[in-house]
């Protein structure tokens, strides 16, 4: 267990550093969007491009991994929406609760953390989860959020899908996959620029997560009942990875082409805390950002222990 904490502690410590820096105003609040943009449009795309270029295309488009993770994501969304509606929440707040329950922080935290834990062989399965969450999970939840009372669900889905396609992360993976298929390489100076940006992705992204968490918590207004927070945190940290493990184990029993090692990567990706950028989306779409911010903060805090024990449990 000590060896696991040796790897996970620095990642979560950098998140804490970002939170404390923003809280102490060492990092001005006005600088947080700039940090977020740097990670989203420069550093993280270069990191995903490098992993995509170094991963066989058969892994990036592995149909069994895609089917497994997409099935579990849709189940988590459906369950969370149904639970939220039973608690009296509107469809918009239920949809964002589902997004924060089904969308782990794979891009900013998961890719570097899982590669650090398991080596570059983990890159293929974890990139699959990034594609599913950016193109399917987020599009589905945003379409649900925008369709409340509108009666135009198809238009809402198309608008959400356009938003997902405009995200630079899937395109970075696609470009990397193209490089992998062509078995080519970037010219020397350009390759060095990509490497420098990619190397900066992990520390800056983790620091930014902490700063965004502080900003979201500050922007949250009013009191949020624990019964609207705790169930979603439990779904994210416990039910989601257990569901991936159960469905994946069924796939293995059916003899589908998947290894226990790749299943472990998918389970650990699902065990990550909620994506921090969901609070920004909730604020933009007029949902209860206070609830979403508290769910993200709680899941990120508790994930230091739950994720580390999941790694130990999976061996």
311-313-314 Cα angle (round to 5): 65
- Distance in angstroms (rounded) separating the CA atoms of residues 195 and 189: 10
- Distance in angstroms (rounded) separating the CA atoms of residues 177 and 269: 21
- Break the chain into its structural domains and give their ranges: 2-313
Phi then psi for 264, rounded to 5 degrees? -60, -40
Burial environment of residue 128 by CB neighbours within 10 A (0 to 12, 13 to 18, 19 or more): buried
- Distance in angstroms (rounded) separating the CA atoms of residues 160 and 96: 13
pLDDT at 79: 97
pLDDT at 163: 65
pLDDT in tens, the chain (315 residues): 778 888 899 999 999 999 999 999 999 999 999 998 999 899 999 999 998 888 888 888 899 999 999 999 999 999 999 999 999 899 899 999 999 999 999 988 989 999 999 988 898 999 999 999 988 999 889 888 887 655 555 665 666 666 666 788 888 988 998 888 888 888 889 999 999 999 999 999 999 999 988 988 776 655 667 888 999 999 999 999 999 999 999 999 999 999 999 999 999 999 999 998 888 788 778 888 888 989 999 999 999 999 999 999 987
Nearest to 224 by CA among 149, 297, 280: 297
Burial environment of residue 296 by CB neighbours within 10 A (0 to 12, 13 to 18, 19 or more): buried
Fold of 2-313: Na+/H+ antiporter like fold (1.20.1530)
- Distance in angstroms (rounded) separating the CA atoms of residues 229 and 237: 13
Query: pTM score, two decimals?
Result: 0.89
- Distance in angstroms (rounded) separating the CA atoms of residues 18 and 12: 10
pLDDT at 153: 58
- Distance in angstroms (rounded) separating the CA atoms of residues 128 and 76: 17
Coil, helix or strand at residue 14: helix
DSSP state of 274: B
Gyration radius from the chain CA atoms: 19
Q: Rounded to a whole number, what is the distance in angstroms from the first to the last CA of the chain?
A: 10
Coil, helix or strand at residue 104: strand
Coil, helix or strand at residue 15: helix
Question: Facing residues of 274 across strands?
Answer: 104
pLDDT at 195: 93
pLDDT at 54: 85
Tell me, rounded to whole angstroms, the distance of Cα 230 from its chain centroid.
Answer: 19
Cβ contacts of 101 within 8 Å, gap of 6 or more: 76, 77, 80, 232, 235, 236, 240, 274, 295
pLDDT at 182: 83
């Amino acid at each position: 267990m000590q060896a696991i904490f040796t790897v996970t502690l620095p990642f979560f410590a950098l998140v804490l550093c970002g939170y404390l820096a923003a809280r102490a105003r060492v990092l001005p609040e006005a600088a947080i969007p700039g940090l977020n943009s740097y990670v989203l449009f420069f550093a993280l795309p270069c990191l995903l491009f490098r992993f995509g270029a170094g991963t066989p295309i058969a892994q990036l488009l592995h149909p069994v991994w895609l089917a497994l993770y997409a099935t579990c994501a849709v189940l988590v969304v459906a369950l969370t929406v149904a639970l939220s509606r039973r608690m009296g929440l509107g469809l918009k707040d239920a949809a964002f609760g589902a997004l924060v329950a089904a969308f782990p922080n794979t891009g900013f935290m998961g890719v570097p953390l899982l590669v650090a834990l398991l080596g570059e062989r983990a890159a293929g399965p974890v990139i699959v989860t990034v594609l599913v969450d950016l193109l399917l999970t987020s599009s589905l939840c945003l379409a649900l959020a925008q369709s409340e009372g509108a009666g135009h669900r198809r238009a809402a889905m198309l608008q959400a899908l356009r938003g997902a396609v405009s995200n630079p992360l899937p395109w970075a993976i696609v470009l990397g996959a193209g490089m992998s298929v062509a078995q080519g390489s970037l010219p020397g100076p350009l390759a060095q620029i990509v490497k420098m940006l990619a190397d900066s992705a992990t520390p800056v992204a983790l620091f930014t997560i902490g700063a965004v968490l502080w900003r979201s918590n500050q922007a949250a207004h009013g009191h949020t009942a624990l019964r609207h927070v705790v169930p979603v945190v439990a779904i994210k940290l416990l039910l989601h990875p257990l569901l991936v493990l159960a469905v994946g184990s069924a796939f293995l029993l059916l003899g589908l082409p998947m290894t226990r090692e790749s299943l472990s990567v998918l389970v650990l990706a699902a065990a990550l805390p909620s994506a921090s950028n969901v609070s920004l989306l909730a604020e933009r779409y007029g949902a209860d950002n206070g609830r979403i911010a508290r769910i993200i903060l709680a899941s990120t805090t508790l994930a230091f222990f739950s994720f580390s024990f999941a790694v130990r449990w999976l061996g």
